[in-house]
Copies of this chain bind each other. A is one copy, B any other.
Amino acid sequence: MKIEEAIKQSKFENSYQKAIINIIYTANWLRDQQQETFKDYDILPQHYNVLRIVNGRYPNAISPGEIKEVMLDKGNDVTRLIDKLVKKGFVKRNTCESNRRKIDIIITKEGINFLKQISEPFKKQIQLLTKALHEKDAEKLSNLLDKFRT
C-alpha cells in the first residue's frame, strides 16, 4: 500500500518529507509486526537486540558500553535491559577483572536456546518478504537508507 493511502494524505510538501514520513511509518509497521512475535515470549525487540549482540561475542564477554555502541536503538538504559535478561536467566553479569568499571556480560545456555526458539518466526517473516521484493531491490533499499543518513 502506498504511503499516501496508508496515512490518508494525498500530497506531501516534497519527496524528502514523504521519504521521512515513509521511513517512520514503515519502522512502526515493522515493530508492530514483530511485537506480535515477541509478546509470546515476554520480551521486547530491544531485549532481543541486546541478546543477539551478547550472543555474537560468545564465548567471550561484552560490556554494557560496548553493547550500547552497536545497538539499533541507542538508549542509555542498557542496564535495565540487561536486568531483565538476567532475571530471565539468559545472560550472566560479572565484574570485569581487568577493568572493574566494566561489567562482563555473557550469554548462558538458556539464552542460546531461547535465541534458537525465537529466530524461527523471523525467518518466516523474511520468507514472506522475498515474495514482495527482489533481492536487488532489498540491496537498493539499504543503499538509499545509508545515503539518507548523511
Contact = CB atoms under 8 A, between A and B. Distances in A.
Interface of A: 1-3, 6-9, 13-32, 45, 56, 69-74, 126, 129-130, 132-133, 135, 137-142, 144-150
**Number of copies of this protein chain within its complex:** 2
A132 B147 contact: yes
Contact of A19 (B56, B72, B141): B141
B28 A74 contact: yes
B145 A23 contact: yes
Contacts of A28: 27, 72-74
B144 A25 contact: no
Contact of A129 (B3, B16, B139, B140): B16
A149 B22 CA distance: 10
A51 to B, nearest CB: 15
A26 B130 contact: no
Contacts of A30: 20, 23-24
A91 to B, nearest CB: 19
Contacts of A14: 126, 135, 138
Contacts of A8: 69-70
A16 B133 contact: yes
A148 B131 CA distance: 10
